[in-house]
Amino acid sequence: MVSQVGGSAIVGGTVIPYKEITVSAQVPGRVTYLAGVEGHRAETGEVLVKIDDADVQAQRRAALSQIYQAEAGLRNSYMQYSRELYSPRVNSITGFPGMGIPATFDQFFTRGFSEVMGQSDSGLERQADLYAQGVGVDQATSGLAAAQANLEAIDAALDDFQATAAFDGIIMRKHIEVGDTVQPGMPLVDYAFIDYLRIEADVPVRLAAGLSEGMLVPARLDSGSGPVEARVAQIYPVADPKRHTVTVKFDLPVGTPGGPGMYVEVTVPDASVPAQAQTSVPLEALVWRGSLPAVFVLDQGKPSLRIVRVGYPLPDGTISVISGLVGGETVILSPPSSLISGH
């Protein structure tokens, strides 16, 4: 069929991972563990790099000892409070030792006399003793909480001594080896999710105007495979003022042969070229002979194989044909693999 289409242009780009991060050191120290070499596949939460944390581990053991001491102090405080509650010290003979005379006489001649004179209140003394033991419980509770908070702070610091995978992916590049000494901010590994791949291309501003998110455009990877349809995923809102280009990202179909870093060519429509008649065919008419697209046309009632050069998908569901066909020829849709030219 013949469609009214504009021109097109080929833009070079690079295959990139769907998601990529650089894991950096948070603390200084010596690298003691590295999960693997480039290409090692890791799952979420797997440790990628460890840095020597012997000093902090010693601090953690000391913090645990402080917690044990604080717990023992708290248990003792509760015991003293319970004893004061059920066996008040104010009623205890041994609680008021004598000054060189038996405690019984000391209690009689001191407390008893003072109570008679109105200078002592046993009920008030008991309340004061009970309050003092309660304060001891509160202080012991506070001490335990402080010890636990100290342990939590140390555990949080320990997290910085190991880098874990934030998502399923592979190690793209390692910047260190076991035994290296690192400082905060130094890159450790480049880590990426490559089950889905993207293309990143700097598209001239005049060409970017003809793109929209969701649009399908043909792309050809440097791996030698045939063209694939890439979907416009993101168009950056700001252009490069020096190069006058806009960064555009395209999603590649799942299973596209290739990998990050490969060169790729993307065919984008050029809205500045006036529309002109151009041959197009339905997508299901395309067959591949190696890396070359082709179609079967009916020539005097027999199928004839034509190698064609395709452009980009059109809104009507067809794909433009730059060369190899002329308008009006009849093509065979979904030809069987056994179909042979001339038969």
Q: Of residues 75 and 28, which shows the higher confidence score?
A: 28
Residue whose pair of structure tokens reads 């179609």 in the numeric block: 295
Query: Which has more confidence, 283 or 94?
Result: 283
Could you give the CA distance from residue 305 to residue 341 in angstroms, rounded to a whole number?
Answer: 5
- Reply yes or no on whether the pLDDT at 61 is more than 70: yes
Does the pLDDT of residue 209 top 80, yes or no? yes
Burial class (CB in 10 A: 0-12, 13-18, 19+), 200: middle
- Judged against a pLDDT cut of 50, whether residue 313 lies above it is answered with yes
Q: Which amino acid would we find at residue 282?
A: P
Mean pLDDT, range 236-253, rounded to an integer: 94
Calculate what percentage of the chain has a pLDDT beyond 90: 38
- For the cut 80, the answer to whether the pLDDT of residue 136 exceeds it is no
In the predicted structure, residue 163 carries a pLDDT above the cut 50: yes
Architecture of domain 275-343: Beta Barrel (2.40)
Kindly give the pairing relationship between strand 276-282 and strand 318-323.
antiparallel
Read off the pLDDT band of 258 (50, 70, 90).
confident
Mean pLDDT for all residues in the chain = 83
Q: Does residue 277 register a pLDDT over 90?
A: no
CATH topology of domain 20-50+162-191: OB fold (Dihydrolipoamide Acetyltransferase, E2P) (2.40.50)
CA-based diameter of the chain, in Å?
Answer: 137
d(CA 278, CA 200): 29
Return the domain boundaries, the chain: 20-50+162-191, 55-159, 275-343
Residues 286-310: pLDDT tens digits? 888 777 888 889 888 888 888 888 8
| pLDDT digit string, tens, across residues 7-46 | 678 899 999 999 999 999 999 999 999 999 999 999 999 9
Q: How far is CA 249 from CA 170, 213, 215, 233, 253, in A?
A: 21, 10, 12, 6, 13
Instruction: State how far the Cα of 147 lies from the Cα of 144, in Å rounded to an integer.
Output: 5
More confident residue, 171 or 102: 171
